[in-house]
Amino acid sequence: MNNIQIIDGGVTAAKGFVAGGVYTGVKSERNDLGMIKSEVLAKAAAVFTQSKTAAAPVQVSKEHIADGFAQGILVNSGNANACIGQQGLKDAKTLADLAAKGIDCASNHILVASTGIIGIPLPMDLITKGFQQLPSLLSPSGNDDFAEAMMTTDTFTKQIAVTFKINGKKVTVGGASKGSGMIHPNMATMLGFITTDIAIDGKLLNDALKKSVDHSFNMITVDGDTSTNDTVFVLANGMAENQEVIVEGPELELFQKALTKVCVYLAKAIVRDGEGATKLVTVEIVGAGTFEHAKKAGFAVAASNLVKTAMFGEDPNWGRIMAALGYSGADIREEKIDIFIGGEAVVKKGIGINFDEKRLKEHLKNKEIILSIALNMGDATATVWTCDLSYDYVKINGEYHT
């Protein structure tokens, strides 16, 4: 991918960003409040949940990002601050005020995010007290503490950073995300935070984020549920000192590829960490008439509980894949469909063919499985990432509130 290289780090890899996390007591034992700060006011863009019951931090952050700038992000876990009415909005604004004073910037230049249980007021006394030490903990090495602070049922932190050059200037994009359950497009129960030191026009940054999200966070599913709090932020502070990217061209294309690489990595990490998941399943659709039809077909297969349980049970039951394609709403013709599991053909022209079931079962024991489906209706493609559905998913969610 041109000269894009993966490096160590996360949200503090880019020049001029510091971060940190602290334990406040909202959750047990580990960090539950995190913050990112840019040394200077940054261009900002976001993509939010499309839920009609969007949480208070989503509503407040929409207001604050309206001018296209931000300098800090504050996120808490353990409580979603959702469906609390006016109290939720008041608390979200209070957190923004608190963070603004902590890093000496305007309140409307703070973005806020929350994740956790819905319908319970934020324990503001705990968060306010715990926050007091957070500004002093922000550092270029604080990305790990920040990534931990937004975890809920996640089992590991999700971080990545990449670098590339624009006209001889080193540019870095770093990111962190959280998510494990309630994952489905538009978006999912996930938070994503991306920082970059590129100098770029605000509208181009906004457009680039939307494109990257459409090919990453909006192409994953764990259980078909979406949430009230889903958010992806990107801050671009310009401290790479490259000539500002203000028009479409090779520089913007390179940044778009780097941003998408970061988003895809974080999105796949979320699916890999799906609640109770034992396998990452990639559903590749090729030969669709349009991207939208490819996406419909891919998501029907990826979201099918029957397909997902077959993957958990290591059962090469291609009939479940064919059934999902049939109700997907995509433009398909049964007699044109070819299906491959792990690269081995199981269906040709809509009809099952002889295959080595024992060998295929061995492939399905792998931690990563690829389901490839050729619709043979055109040239469009789409890739959707999902996971298997295990006994533990029910256990985790049956006990989530308690």
Q: Are 149 and 78 a contacting pair, CB within 8 Å? A: no
Whether 189 sits among the annotated catalytic residues: the reply is yes
List the catalytic residue out of 172, 189, 196, 228. Answer: 189
In the chain, the amino acid numbered 6 is: I
The owner of tokens 């494990």 is 180
CB environment 86-114: b (16+ within 10 A), e (fewer) = eebbebbbbbbebbbebbebebbbbbbbb
CA dist., res. 387 & res. 389, Å (int): 7
Helix (H, G, I), strand (E, B) or coil at 338: strand
CA dist., res. 20 & res. 230, Å (int): 21
DSSP-assigned states of every residue in 22-80: E--SSSSSS--EEEEEEEEEEEEEEEE---TT--HHHHHHHHHTTTSEEEEEEEEEEE-
Backbone torsion region of residue 36, taken as left when φ is above 0, otherwise alpha when ψ lies between -120 and 50, otherwise beta: beta
CA dist., res. 268 & res. 175, Å (int): 13
CB count, 10 Å around CB of 213? 23
Which distant-in-sequence residues (6+ apart) come within 8 Å of 63 by Cβ? Answer: 108
Q: Is the peptide bond before 151 cis (omega within 30 degrees of 0)?
A: no
Q: Which residues are catalytic?
A: 189
